[in-house]
């Protein structure tokens, strides 16, 4: 009897894990190829996921607002994003300025959640400055932002992140392209929700999870 119950529990756990993995696998193949081309830092273990796989309500709300503010265009204009409307989400939002010649990504608005994860004082700095506190992380972010900038579409990520604050384990991240005049990506709006627990499906690793 005990063996039967144990077997049923194991089968249930395996079924739940496969459901989770299938949910995570629903992602645009172009996005997956884009992200897999980045040599990520060993401190990051996130994968691109479908927007349906995102659980954080704040990310869902910001994505819906960004889509509304596109007004049929490929991406939203910065002038269409109302600071008052976005006020309730600002602690989760980071605005990154895209500079060209040479290419750089500079933090212009840093939400409270990002500062909790990476420390204060990063506003106005190149993202690669994060290398000073978390070696390799800044380079990973630079490459990720470069890929997303070229993709010109929103991308969602889910996974685990080892940061300065050891109590933060899981992360869901949304990166949205924003334009000043509608011609090119001038800003990236990053929306993050951190978790105190791991988001990795039980028994998986970076390789098997991908």
Cα dist from 24 to 69, 94, 103, whole Å: 27, 25, 32
Kindly indicate the confidence band of residue 20, based on its pLDDT and cuts at 50, 70 and 90.
very low
Taking only the tens place, the pLDDT of each residue in 157-181 is: 888 875 555 666 788 989 999 999 9
d(Cα 203, Cα 70) in Å, to the nearest integer? 40
pLDDT of amino acid 144: 86
Taking only the tens place, the pLDDT of each residue in 103-134 is: 999 998 876 656 555 555 677 889 998 888 77
CA 188 to chain CA centroid, nearest Å: 11
* Burial class (CB within 10 angstroms; exposed 0-12, middle 13-18, buried 19+) of 43: middle
Residue pointed to by tokens 């090119």: 184
* Burial class (CB within 10 angstroms; exposed 0-12, middle 13-18, buried 19+) of 67: middle
Instruction: Say how many C-beta atoms besides its own lie within 10 A of residue 21's C-beta.
Output: 13
Q: Which residues contact 123 (CB under 8 A, 6 or more apart)?
A: 107, 108, 109, 110
What does R_g of the chain's alpha carbons equal in angstroms? 18
- Classified as helix, coil or strand, 156 is strand
CATH architecture, domain 2-209: 2-Layer Sandwich (3.30)
Kindly indicate the confidence band of residue 208, based on its pLDDT and cuts at 50, 70 and 90.
very low
pLDDT of amino acid 34: 60
pLDDT at 190 over 70: yes
pLDDT cut 70: percent of the chain above it: 65
In this prediction the pTM is: 0.75
Taking only the tens place, the pLDDT of each residue in 28-85 is: 556 666 656 555 555 567 777 888 888 999 999 999 999 999 998 989 999 999 989 9
Every domain of the chain and the residues it spans: 2-209
């Amino acid at each position: 009897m005990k063996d039967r119950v144990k077997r049923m529990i194991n089968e249930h756990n395996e079924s739940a894990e496969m459901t989770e993995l299938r949910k995570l696998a629903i992602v645009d193949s172009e996005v997956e190829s884009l992200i897999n081309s980045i040599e990520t830092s060993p401190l990051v273990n996130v994968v691109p996921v479908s927007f349906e796989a995102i659980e954080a309500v704040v990310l869902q709300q910001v994505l819906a607002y960004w889509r509304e503010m596109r007004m049929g265009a490929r991406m939203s204009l910065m002038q269409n994003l109302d600071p008052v409307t976005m006020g309730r989400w600002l602690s989760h939002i980071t605005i990154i300025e895209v500079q060209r010649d040479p290419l750089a990504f500079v933090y212009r608005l840093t939400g409270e959640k990002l500062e909790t994860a990476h420390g204060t004082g990063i506003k106005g700095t190149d993202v690669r400055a994060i290398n000073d506190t978390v070696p390799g992380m800044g380079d990973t972010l630079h490459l990720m932002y470069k890929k997303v900038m070229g993709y010109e579409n929103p991308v969602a990520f889910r996974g685990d992140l080892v940061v300065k604050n050891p109590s933060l384990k899981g992360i869901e991240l949304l990166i949205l392209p924003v334009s000043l005049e509608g011609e090119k990506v001038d800003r990236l709006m990053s929306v993050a929700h951190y978790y105190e627990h791991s988001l990795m499906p039980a028994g998986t690793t970076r390789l098997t999870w991908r």
